[in-house]
């Protein structure tokens, strides 16, 4: 009964997320008007309700995996609609780290299930979608862009420099913005409003800096215990974990909520 209740709510959430994402992509494709508020200037990308392509891609990816696993158990045509739509939305985020995380997770899942024949088929579908989706002008839809890679590397270096100040127990959670200002690592003009000022481009680096080595070990153990709650959880956490290496994903409240919700689904083999 509880499984049906959770599934019903996931389906309703999926429908709402899809409708908002489609509406945003066609009617509000340009987020540059909110740049002054600290948002990234996404253009012609599916950022949906969350105004961030990485977070949106993570949520689309988690729903894609959930409905894909569900379709494998119940291979009916009507059960294939959700994974197809969410895979298209993942592609429309133009997030390369999500592409890699999805591919690694799918290959791992079907390899462990010994369903090797389906791996090249799904890979071909994914690559085909990448080539077919519209790519209007703009750096955001350019999959060869280097700016985001360089900015992440610089961000990682900043995080490690701060971590060295308090390596064991960290500088304290929610203090990143103030520590950056203290060491002149953030622009004083917008240090309070810049969204990136309070975090780093990796959930694990955020924990590492704010909680130190002790905090990171505790956090990894927490994720490990969650991943063991049901047989599909390790794939959800593999996807979210890989993605969290390049962006702050797994600490996002809605992503964490989805992960915990998926963890609570009782499975017959557990």
What's the CA gap between 237 and 253, in Å, rounded?
A: 15
What is the pLDDT, as a whole number, of residue 270? 43
Domain boundaries, the chain: 2-144, 147-216
Give the predicted TM-score (pTM) of the model.
0.89
Look at residue 145 in the predicted model and tell me its pLDDT. 75
Which residues of the chain register pLDDT less than 50? 268-270
**What are all long-range contacts of 102-108, with beta carbons under 8 Å and residues at least 24 apart?**
102/61, 102/64, 102/126, 102/239, 104/238, 104/239, 104/242, 105/65, 105/235, 105/238, 105/239, 105/242, 106/68, 108/235, 108/238
Question: Mind listing the pLDDT tens digit for each residue in 172-211?
Answer: 888 888 888 877 777 666 656 666 677 788 999 999 999 9
| Predicted pLDDT of residue 101 | 95
């Amino acid at each position: 009964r509880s499984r049906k209740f959770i599934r019903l709510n996931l389906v309703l959430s999926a429908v709402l997320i899809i409708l908002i994402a489609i509406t945003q992509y066609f009617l509000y494709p340009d987020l540059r008007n909110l740049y002054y508020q600290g948002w990234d200037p996404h253009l012609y990308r599916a950022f949906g309700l969350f105004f961030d392509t990485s977070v949106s891609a993570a949520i689309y990816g988690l729903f894609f995996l959930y409905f894909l696993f569900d379709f494998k158990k119940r291979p009916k045509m009507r059960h294939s609609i959700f994974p197809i739509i969410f895979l298209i939305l993942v592609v429309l985020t133009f997030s390369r780290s999500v592409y890699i995380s999805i591919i690694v997770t799918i290959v791992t899942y079907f390899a462990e299930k010994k369903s090797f024949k389906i791996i090249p088929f799904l890979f071909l579908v994914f690559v085909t979608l990448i080539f077919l989706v519209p790519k209007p002008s703009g750096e955001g839809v350019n999959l060869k862009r280097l700016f985001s890679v360089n900015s992440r590397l610089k961000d990682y270096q900043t995080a490690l420099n701060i971590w060295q100040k308090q390596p064991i127990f960290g500088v304290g959670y929610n203090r990143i913005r103030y520590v950056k200002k203290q060491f002149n690592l953030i622009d004083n003009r917008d240090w309070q409003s810049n969204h990136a000022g309070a975090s780093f481009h990796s959930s694990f680096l955020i924990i590492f800096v704010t909680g130190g080595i002790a905090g990171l070990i505790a956090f990894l153990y927490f994720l490990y215990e969650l991943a063991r709650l049901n047989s599909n959880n390790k794939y959800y956490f593999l996807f979210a974990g890989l993605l969290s290496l390049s962006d702050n994903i797994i600490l996002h409240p809605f992503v964490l909520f989805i992960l915990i919700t998926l963890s609570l689904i009782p499975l017959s083999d557990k």
